[in-house]
Amino acid sequence: MEHSDNDKAFEDLDLSVQEFRRLGHGVIDMIADYYSTVREVPVFPPNNSTEVDREFLEELPKTGQDPAAILDEWRSKVLPHATHPGSPRFFGFVNGSGTMIGTLAEALAASVNMNTGAWKASPAATGIERRTIAWIAELIGYPVNCGGFFTSGGTMANFSAVLTALRNVAPYDTTDEGLQSQDREGRFTIYMSDHEGHISLIRVADLLNLGRSAVRRVPGNDDFTMNVQALERILDEDIARGDKPFCVVGQVGSINVGAIDPLEDIARICRDRGLWFHADGACGAVGAMLPDKAHLYAGLELADSVTLDPHKWLYIPYECGCLLVRDPEKLRRTFSITAPYLRGTLPTENTGLDYLEYGPQMSRGFKALKVWMTLKHYGVEGYRTLLGQNIRCAEHLDRLVRASTTFEALHQQNLFIYSFRYAPEALRAVAMESTVKAQQIDAYLDRLNQMIADQIQLSGVAFVMTTRIRNRTALRLSISSHRTTIEDIDLVFSKLREIGLELQSRYQSPDPSRSSDADSV
């Protein structure tokens, strides 16, 4: 007699609860060991990409492997080739350092595996996200009855904000008709700071298929903030040409210098012209909770939308971006979509808010749990202490730079991001003698500063990146770890100076009479 597949015994490939508990205790031990050494671990691995790829070169497993052996590879393979944003001397990009309770929250969220796109799939998660969004709004002085949600990061938060702006400001229905309409005249345009506007807005223009040139760069003031007179002039010029401005983006703690645009003035211009005012606070919006910095954020509460990244200056483990929108109905109007399999075909009282109606994702992880738990753990006062420590570290770094004859300050210190460059006074004096000498010295210093950043990364002492400040290569420190101390700043500053002097002695500064010397570094 033949047996059907239905007669086969069910195979349960889950771990037993006992084995899971044993392995889980081992994982917690590994995590605790990591946290105990995170202040000493080399911040960046010295391996190149070929070496790293070789470590993970193996065939697709045909049969299952021992779970204990798999987990052991975390220590033997993963950690030795990891960059460590949790280190107090990780200053690259704008990475939060990761809270310990956030790590535990991630494990708990994964265990239940709720899809927070729909209320029925995630009642508790939806309730926590709604409450946490209100807490964040309160934290920065934004209306607590706003709408909003957590997303992957600043790019998707900015995308959701700008799409909401477009669909609520455009003179015709872009939801059904798209951007191609017989009623369309001109081009939809977005406005942001020329120097400090974040590149994610260019990605947003890509995603919306507006074209990258739809993002108009507004000249800045000497302090890197947007010049609102220039904004109004460019708006007038674009409207006269037949374009359709719909959104102005103000920077709230910019990516290179921590600049905060004149938010009240931008809000006024947008209100008078019927434009959407979006505040990009991915890096710095949470600084509004600091009483001694609150005056810098005047007008943030007037924005139609605000983005901020909890995985930046709230130290939440990756990934976690956030969007707040003043009018929740405008979010729903932008993203609402329905199908019978999402809610069922007949009405029922057993429903709640479905986040798939208010944002671009239908399948969503439980990001809110790690924010909710960390906010409860630290509280507002705890966060004020941690943010204040970061700012004091940046202030200390600024004093070191300005007191040094080896480095050059490039902007006024503001929040926690600080950019400066290795530029000995003697070289700066030579550069002032003529335009030709200035160009050669600047080219030399550009390469020298890049080499300094590369060398300190490879040393393992710290992770520092370069950026461009008014066409000069600069060293940029994002002091966004809740573990960074003044002693860390002193150590890294001393190491940067040591590396710079050594490289300068090895690669002599250019002789202006020999143009090829500038290429010798």
Select the CATH number that applies to the domain covering 115-341+349-365 from these four: 3.40.50.720, 3.40.640.10, 3.90.1660.10, 3.30.70.20: 3.40.640.10
Coil, strand or helix at 103: helix
pLDDT for residue 1: 56
| Cβ 505 vs Cβ 497: under 8 Å | no
Residues in the chain with pLDDT values less than 70: 1-5, 180-183, 344-347, 511-521
Distance CA 200, CA 391 (A): 25
Omega cis (within 30) before 319: yes
pLDDT tens per residue across span 147-174: 999 999 999 999 999 999 999 999 888 8
Angstrom CA distances, 19 to 16, 22, 25, 67, 155, stand at: 5, 5, 10, 9, 40
pLDDT for residue 520: 43
pLDDT for residue 513: 44
Q: At what angle do helices 435-459 and 486-506 cross, to 10 degrees?
A: 120
* Other Cβ atoms closer than 10 A to 204: 26
User: What DSSP line would sit under 393-456, residue for residue?
Assistant: HHHHHHHHHHH-SSEEE-S---SSEEEEEE--HHHHHHHTT-HHHHHHHHHHHHHHHHHHHHHH
pLDDT for residue 74: 97
pLDDT for residue 512: 47
**H or E stretch at 307:** strand 305-308
pLDDT for residue 62: 95
pLDDT for residue 343: 72
pTM flag (> 0.85): yes
* Alpha-carbon 423 to chain mean position: 29
Select the CATH number that applies to the domain covering 379-519 from these four: 1.10.3470.10, 3.40.50.2000, 3.90.1150.170, 3.40.50.880: 3.90.1150.170
Coil, strand or helix at 95: coil
Q: Structure tokens of 343? A: 């809610």
Tell me the residue ranges of DSSP E strands in 118-243.
Answer: 147-151, 188-193, 215-218
Distance CA 370, CA 102 (A): 5
Q: Where are the alpha helices (DSSP H) in 173-227?
A: 174-177, 200-207
pLDDT for residue 514: 45
pLDDT for residue 174: 85
pLDDT for residue 133: 98
